[in-house]
Structure 1
Amino acid sequence: MTFLQGVEKGPVTLSVRDVHRVDAYRLQILISAERQWQIDGLEFQIIDMSPAFRSGLERLGLSPDHFDKEAQQ
């Protein structure tokens, strides 16, 4: 995701409210970005998760709350 390259040195918040489908390729990019931001000590948030996004996470083998920091606490 090219837009992430421009913010490598700062916090990121992505809204996925309009996501209707999640595929493995894009999920891999999001997970890799999340890990890199964690390594760098920066905040990486995915917010406004649509039901389709959550079910896509589950279909691809992740918890539907994987990116939901509040649900994990």
Structure 2
Amino acid sequence: MGRILVFFIWCSSIVTYAQELNCNVVINAEQTGNSNLPVFKTLEKQIFEFVNTTKWTNKEFTNQERIEC
């Protein structure tokens, strides 16, 4: 069963297409028990900027064409 699942995941990865993203990133730092919350705000901002500004393809996409996630 596991080999079949790996095979289907591998096959689907071959035919997937990348597109630009428009993601909202929220990190819930309260669950960590860490009192240094500014570190998590910085991490949240950096992940947001990385995901939303990285060009995953050579194609140009407008803001309306971006995937909301």
Same fold (TM over 0.5): no
**TM-score normalised according to structure 1 size:** 0.28
Larger relative helix fraction? 2
**TM-score normalised according to structure 2 size:** 0.29
Report which structure shows greater RCO (CA 8 Å, sep ≥6): 2
Larger relative strand fraction? 1
Larger Rg: 2
